[in-house]
Amino acid sequence: MKRRNTITALLFLALTAGGFVLLLTSFFGREGSFESLLKTFAKDRDVTAFLAGAETAVNQDLDRDHLFIQIYGGIQRLTGRRMVEDAVDENTVVKLATGALNFVKPDSTAQPAESVDDNAAATAKLARDLEKQKIPYLFVLAPQKIQRGQDLLPVGMAENGNTTADAFLEGLDQWGTSYVDLRPLLESNGIYSGWFFNTDHHWKPEAAFFAWQNLAQVLDHNYGFTTPAALTDPANWSTTVLDDFFLGSQGKRVGSLYAGVDDFTIYTPKFETNLTYTSVDGGFDRTGPFNQSVCFPERVEEKDWFNGNPYTYYSGGDYGMATMTNHNNPDGPKVVLLRESFSCALAPFLALSCSELTTIDLRQFQGDLLETIEGLEPDLVMTLYAASTTGLENMFAFDGTE
């Protein structure tokens, strides 16, 4: 069948499906190109003009390279399905009661208590080993997309990230290890679901900025690391919102028709900044203002839902080891941040509170962790991990030599 005939057949199926037409063309509650064409056809009944414009309209509304993902996701939305199974179990996508997406394993069970205990013990051991070197340690628990105490999953499905996180923090309490739980912060301010992308598991830049504002106060009160109030004042930052720009990792599995796409916010300081960001394994050495050094404007040059990842505008991505040097704060603290992907959005802001921020991603890092940290001579070591089952399952089993 010729391509034009294929498109015509698809349009015929869409027309006979009635409501699917509206779904197919109105991604985000607004009129799409094809919907507009349909309205003209309904008024004028000009079949020739309709067919002439149909393929162009669909091309504008849909990513042709991922057409069948799009249509499949659209059908799932039309039929009201809240779980879209994938060939790979961990990529099964569910729609929460909020309308946002989430990855859930269909056979998800609570993480074994001994595994949680082991992670807490390993974290506490790291804190004790650092204390011997007179280096303080702080664990920071990032929030997850599902709010505590909320029943948001489809019937019969379970997700135990918050339960696992609670047990882990209880273990840190027993060991006397310092930590900050960011979940209450987001629960008590604004609408909790609004802090996260609808189509991705990460928090939005707005949430990372808000977390930095509060962590700056913790670092001041508990460690004496002062961040000038002007830096964390939202009035001293401009924001640019890229509309309908980001299709996250969950959205990529089901297409934009299933739950729409997300806006993405670019933060730009109104004050002078000068940083250097280097990573050997990342292969870069960037110096300049905030938005050109610790941020990657090339990641948002064009909208590309399926192949792009605007989330990596901040920090560039996940690297085994990278360092952000703040030339405008040479007397600030040197901080090491043991990180995972939630830190992408936080690290550039946190770097403004430091003279030097070195991030280490234990999923990528090769070498002796304690020896590396000691060589950096930090004033503080922090860990930021998300409150999700997978996040805490990925916590390192640290024995002091890895």
pLDDT digit string, tens, across residues 193-244: 999 999 999 999 999 999 999 999 999 999 999 999 999 999 999 999 999 9
Rounded-to-integer distance, Cα 63 and Cα 68, Å: 9
In whole angstroms, give the CA distance from residue 321 to residue 7. Answer: 48
Instruction: Say how many CA atoms lie within 13 Å of 344 toward its Cβ.
Output: 19
pLDDT at 168 over 80: yes
Average pLDDT over residues 314-333: 97
- Tell me the whole-structure pTM to 2 decimals: 0.83
The per-residue pLDDT for range 13-60, each reduced to its tens digit, is: 444 444 444 444 444 444 455 445 445 545 555 555 655 555 555 555
The pLDDT assigned to 149 comes to 93
**Which of 54-68, 106-120, 152-166 has the highest mean predicted lDDT (pLDDT)?**
152-166
CA distance 41 to 53: 10
Provide the pairing of β-strand 380-386 with 334-339: parallel
* Token pair for 197: 């992308």
Name the phi and psi angles at 102, rounded to 5.
-155, 145
For residue 159, name the pLDDT band (cuts at 50, 70, 90): confident
Hunting for tokens 């709010």 — which residue is that?
147
Tokens 């993405």 sit on residue: 264
Span 53-69, mean pLDDT? 63
pLDDT of residue 166: 94
Per-residue HEC secondary structure of 121-169 comes to HHHHHHHHHHHHCCCCEEEEEECCCCCCCCCCCCCCCCCCHHHHHHHHH
- CA–CA gap between residue 315 and residue 320 (Å, rounded): 12
Beta strands per DSSP E along 165-316: 179-181, 237-246, 262-269, 275-279, 284-288
Measured between alpha carbons, how far is 165 from 111 in angstroms, rounded to an integer?
Answer: 10
Dihedral of alpha carbons 341, 343, 346, 347, sign? negative
> What helix, strand, coil percent values describe the chain, rounded to 5?
45, 20, 35
Return the minimum-mean-pLDDT range out of 142-146, 299-303, 398-402.
Answer: 398-402
Whether 294 has a pLDDT exceeding 80, the answer reads yes
> Which of the pair, 39 or 67, is modelled with greater confidence?
67
Report the amino acid identity of residue 338. L
What is the distance between the alpha carbons of residues 266 and 345, in angstroms, rounded to a whole number? 11
Domain residue limits, the chain: 1-61, 113-393
